[in-house]
Structure 1
Amino acid sequence: MSDLLITSPANPRLKSLAALRRRRGREETRTTLVEGHEELALALDCGIRPATLFVCPELFSPGGPAGLQVIGLQEDVVTRARTLGAEVVRLGRQAFEKVAYREGADGLLAVVPAVDPTLLALDARGIAELSARPLLLVSQGVEKPGNLGAMLRTADAAGVAAVVAADPVTDWGNPNVVRASKGTVFSVPVASATTSETLAWLGRHGIPLVVTTPETDLLYTDVDLSGRVAVVVGAEKHGVDQQVLEAAAYRVRIPMLGRANSLNVAASAAIVVYEAVRQRTRA
């Protein structure tokens, strides 16, 4: 049976995709969007089963040896999704460009189940008990999807056990989080909770907090990060709140030698997380 073909940008099916750009639409359907062959390939590797895959071969990579290789990877994603039971819908170029949410669209857009972002889900997976010294990353009140996505990429690369968003402004299914994370939102266990719930959960599992703040003399390199620990970073403008500061086992700062008094939150998270990696891997 041939795939359904949609050429009109006004087709009603495309309106449902536009609804998934809004948080309400994602929460009501418990689905989200993944665009791009790299992100989709990683999602498939992590066991995600797309409900629908929208394909525009006209937007596949241009010719040449490198282009042909990329096209092969794109076609492989289509085959894998189809094998997993996804409905494959072909879109004309205008129709695809209407629903694409990223620049330089490569002709692949999928509707996939949203991740379960609860602390209960982390407990069900035994995240806090998987190792004797789990490394976690907690962000409080972070607003920008790009920063959440960047922190996920760091967490994936550094082997972080889970990333918890305390009082988040956005959700893990935000397409811009998925894009900025390069799909690692599906490879790294994530959760969202209130700050009080997050602190209580960490306390139950005996995981101390190391909190970044400029209001301390203790450098992040002077703290033992080799054991059970949660690195905590705060909102872009104001950092963590007093509740988190009071719960911290250590308050640490990153040296700032220029005129700016802080780093981007994703950069701060990466610096401290990789200090933990350094301490854990040194001879």
Structure 2
Amino acid sequence: MQKEIITSAQNPRIKHLLLLQQKSSERRTCGLFVVEGQRELLHCINAGYEIATLYCCPDVAGENELEGFFASFPNGCRDIPCVNISKALYDKVAYRGGTEGVIAEIRTRCNTLEDLSLPENPLVIVLESVEKPGNLGAVLRSADAAKADAVIVCDPLTDLFNPNLIRSSIGAVFTVPTVACTSEDCISFLKQHDIQILTAQLQDSRLYYDTPMTQGTAIVMGTESTGLTSQWREAADAHIRIPMLGELDSLNVSVSAAILMFEAVRQRAL
């Protein structure tokens, strides 16, 4: 790998790296986003993304650990620009500690609904206008655990390459096919592929475990504050709810998504 050493936070490359972390507009304009951590980066390149620049800190990871990490790259990813940075500089640009001394700029690849290759009777998770990257990241982790076939984010209020989303998903945004689109396009796609639409809502709904999920199924969830729009409620084949036995009437969207996903897993295992 080509290597140079950077120690100053005033270096233009480091300033650009920070801008990519902080501003979605910069990510869109440059077609780049940032991935931090060895595990997340391996998931990213195994999903076919291309590294533009790799920043390494041997004082954090150690030369031997980094060499072992590089050896795990697919063959086509080993001849890439690599920059060494000091520990003091790494501490300034890293979002969190314990990320094994690697940060990378990655070339954006925007997947679409047409790129999804779904099996027979797929399990799809749909999120409408989820705003918090942490919630979306947590849903993606559950989707990976449940082996969901896709996550579709409709009318997103955060971009899929937000560093907080990547971090909270622990790289699941790369292991689960994930696309963003409008609700209208998503509804058309699901109906075209004969995938039943189950909307999670309190009104006019039945208990989730009384609802068959063994056929092609899309579990659709909205924000905690406003729920789903009427567009989704009207397009649904069934409305489902999780019983709330306490004083509150809702769960965090990521918790609800996990409960509903694993009910589908349970039914499909019978």
Tell me the TM-score normalised to structure 1 length.
0.88
Kept in 2: contact 1:40–1:77 (CA 8 A): no
- 1:87-102, aligned counterparts within 5 Å? 87-102=81-96
What residue in structure 2 maps to residue 76 of structure 1? 68
Query: Offset at 1:73?
Result: 5.3
- SS of equivalent to 2:51: coil
Q: What is the aligned length?
A: 267
What residue in structure 2 maps to residue 29 of structure 1? 30
What residue in structure 2 maps to residue 43 of structure 1? 44
Structure 1 residues 185 and 34: CA distance shift in structure 2, 3 A: same
Kept in 2: contact 1:56–1:108 (CA 8 A): yes
Query: C-alpha separation between the residues in 2 aligned to 1:105 and 1:182?
Result: 11
- 1:221-232, aligned counterparts within 5 Å? 221-232=209-220
Aligned equivalent of 2:106, options 82, 94, 112? 112
Query: C-alpha separation between the residues in 2 aligned to 1:133 and 1:29?
Result: 38
Question: What whole-Å deviation, never above 9, does each CA across 1:86-129 have from its counterpart, x for those lacking one?
Answer: 2110001122222212244431101112232322322xxx33xx
Aligned equivalent of 1:162, options 150, 155, 171? 150
Kept in 2: contact 1:6–1:90 (CA 8 A): yes
Query: C-alpha separation between the residues in 2 aligned to 1:73 and 1:132?
Result: 42
Query: C-alpha separation between the residues in 1 aligned to 2:2 and 2:132?
Result: 41
Amino acid at match of 1:11: N
- 1:1-283, aligned counterparts within 5 Å? 3-21=3-21, 22-60=23-61, 74-80=66-72, 84=77, 85-122=79-116, 126-127=117-118, 131-282=119-270
Query: Offset at 1:210?
Result: 0.5
Kept in 2: contact 1:53–1:81 (CA 8 A): no
Structure 1 residues 217 and 82: CA distance shift in structure 2, 3 A: closer
Kept in 2: contact 1:141–1:235 (CA 8 A): yes
Kept in 2: contact 1:9–1:94 (CA 8 A): no
**More deviation in 227-236 or 105-114?**
105-114
Amino acid at match of 2:39: E
Query: Offset at 1:174?
Result: 0.7
**More deviation in 78-87 or 158-167?**
78-87
Query: Offset at 1:234?
Result: 0.5
Q: Which runs of 5+ in 1 are unaligned?
A: 62-70
- SS of equivalent to 2:111: coil
Kept in 1: contact 2:153–2:181 (CA 8 A): yes
Kept in 2: contact 1:115–1:186 (CA 8 A): no
Query: C-alpha separation between the residues in 2 aligned to 1:237 and 1:76?
Result: 46
Amino acid at match of 2:12: P
